[in-house]
Chain A
């Protein structure tokens, strides 16, 4: 039943296409009685212009439906829907622009304690299915609000369609389903009613017979409704599937923007924002989420202790083969030669060519006295001569330390060999 009511909402939205509804024989005066309540409960709404009032209505409805845990409120909500339905019956003669009355009427009904007996009966019969209803309403939430939101933007009937088309998603699907349902109603019921009155006119107690027949008819109609529930359930579940995954989050911000303006730039508004959304979303696929297979700070893999393997050498070789290694100018050719070791390298500091002596500190070169200590005389002309020799060596930058040592060693040997001569001349004092 609730599903049927939901359909009825959409029937109203469909510009009240079907005018003859057998169930809408209910007296509309019942609604009129409570008209005085309207300003009390909906005071802010009625004060607003037409468009916004209907929006706030839808907002209200959305919020109430979203509070689906509040079970007590949902039947009320469905009553509202039911009332929209009955309102629709009244509005058959009215034009679509009567949304304000629509709103006020529904507001009355929200407070209305008495539900029509028939409706109540239906509520009771399907009370067990309340859980599923809540689910359905939860799924419907978005749909209902979008329906209401579109409303202010269109004034002529024909302009509605193109407006809604970009929505495309579940909304139009729902509309189609609803249209089908309403078609069924519209074509079947007037014919039946006509047939009933024709049949009744043949009977003596005409009015009683007609009402009895209609009652019987209503009973019959309850059966196809329960049957149809399954189909529509399918459709609604389909709608849930068809919904875009981010539809909900998308609708919120854009719809808020739309409340502020007059609703004229609705489609453009949506186009630009969604486009920007798209740009933002696919800002860079390189920043997409990772697979999360590895811990971020995995330990460093221990390098093989044996140096490069054959495979490593081959990899390097392959890379060299694949890339362009041809020199583009003379300097690049010289770089290549330098790497091969064919060319003496260009000096990059004042220690070029110092490979041999790189680890020898300068004082080894300069302070050579320590080499004189052991076997040279401590004083005298030989000592004096050797001091001059090491002074000269200290200043010589062409020789390595080893060569300097060898030089000194040569003199040591020489003076040792000539020791006799020197002693004779009293020059070797030790």
Chain B
């Protein structure tokens, strides 16, 4: 849709330069942050990619948000999680909590690794990033419920979820669980690391919540035909 509109539009530069707004003229292109994308030589690119490169020389490009970096350690999932944890725009605090969580997870696992015997060492996963991604995968629900009105009553109907929605639900459950249902004197990074390690091992309250949602969806299977999309 954006492509057809941009075909009709004439090239224009705005009188006021847009910085960091989320609503852009569809004429604008997305920024490419990673260094590898630019280091590939001409020969390796396909025709479309060559066309894209030429277009970048002509069209204006959206401003990159402050959450993306060209660092090799940049991870979009972790950035999304930090944004969801952030309150009142305090990104510094949210990032601090995330880094402390990762360090805490790694500390616990490395300590276990060094104290374990040779045979047990292969099983212990020390990388906090794989633990985070795997825990989030384990928390993602497969089907969700939607409230659909039929004949004056509202029914909870099982529906398929998009990938973005599933990831959002997993992260939201994780954060609310840690904020509400833990002992009040523990730090957030401590609560998060405990919950993430439990989810990695397919136990804990968030996994339980996912299973309950699945059970509800299974129970309401009869109403699945109420969905019209």
A and B interact: no
